[in-house]
């Protein structure tokens, strides 16, 4: 299901978080919504929040990859972030950096397929 940054924030606030757990949300149609300033520590990777800029692509990617417009926008966002704000950083999936006790399948079983689109930014 496609979700806006505002919808995600409402859900996360219901969990007791201070707001949206991501810095950016890339919608199905390719719209990029900034949910938090990069200087703000959002809640998206337990015990590693200070290390990451969280980008959410709403949807269930267990059996499919994100939509083309969504992927194109995410790639543009990553390129911009790495050039303008976060040089030297790399793209990782949530499950790639989750600490023991916080394991997740996010961003889904299809991540090994679509992460290739972020090369050479993926570690």
- pLDDT tens for 16-40 read 999 999 999 999 999 999 999 998 8
pTM: 0.91
- Can you give the residue range of the structural domain that contains 19? 5-118
Indicate whether 67 belongs to any domain.
yes
**Residue 8 and residue 12: Cα distance in Å, rounded?**
6
Indicate whether 123 belongs to any domain.
no
Number of domains in the chain: 1
**Looking at the chain, how many residues does it have?**
123
Encoded tokens for 20? 């949206």
**Residue 11 and residue 106: Cα distance in Å, rounded?**
17
CATH number at residue 105: 3.40.80.10
Indicate whether 23 belongs to any domain.
yes
Instruction: List pLDDT tens digits, range 54-75.
Output: 999 999 999 999 999 999 999 9
Indicate whether 42 belongs to any domain.
yes
Please tell me the predicted confidence (pLDDT) of residue 88. 78
| In the block, residue with structure tokens 């990553």 | 78
Q: Confidence band (pLDDT; 50, 70, 90) for 122? A: low
Indicate whether 84 belongs to any domain.
yes
For residue 56, which of 17, 121, 6 has the smallest C-alpha distance? 6
């Amino acid at each position: 299901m496609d979700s806006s940054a505002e919808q995600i924030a409402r859900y996360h606030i219901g969990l007791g978080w201070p707001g949206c757990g991501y810095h950016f949300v890339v919608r199905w149609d390719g719209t990029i919504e900034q949910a938090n300033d990069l200087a703000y520590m959002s809640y998206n990777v337990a015990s590693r929040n200070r290390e990451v800029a969280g980008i959410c692509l709403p949807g269930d990617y267990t059996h499919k990859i994100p939509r083309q417009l969504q992927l194109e926008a995410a790639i543009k966002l990553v390129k911009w972030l790495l050039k303008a704000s976060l040089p030297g950083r790399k793209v990782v999936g949530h499950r790639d950096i989750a600490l023991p006790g916080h394991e997740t399948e996010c961003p889904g079983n299809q991540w090994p397929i679509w992460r290739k689109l972020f090369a050479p930014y993926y570690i």
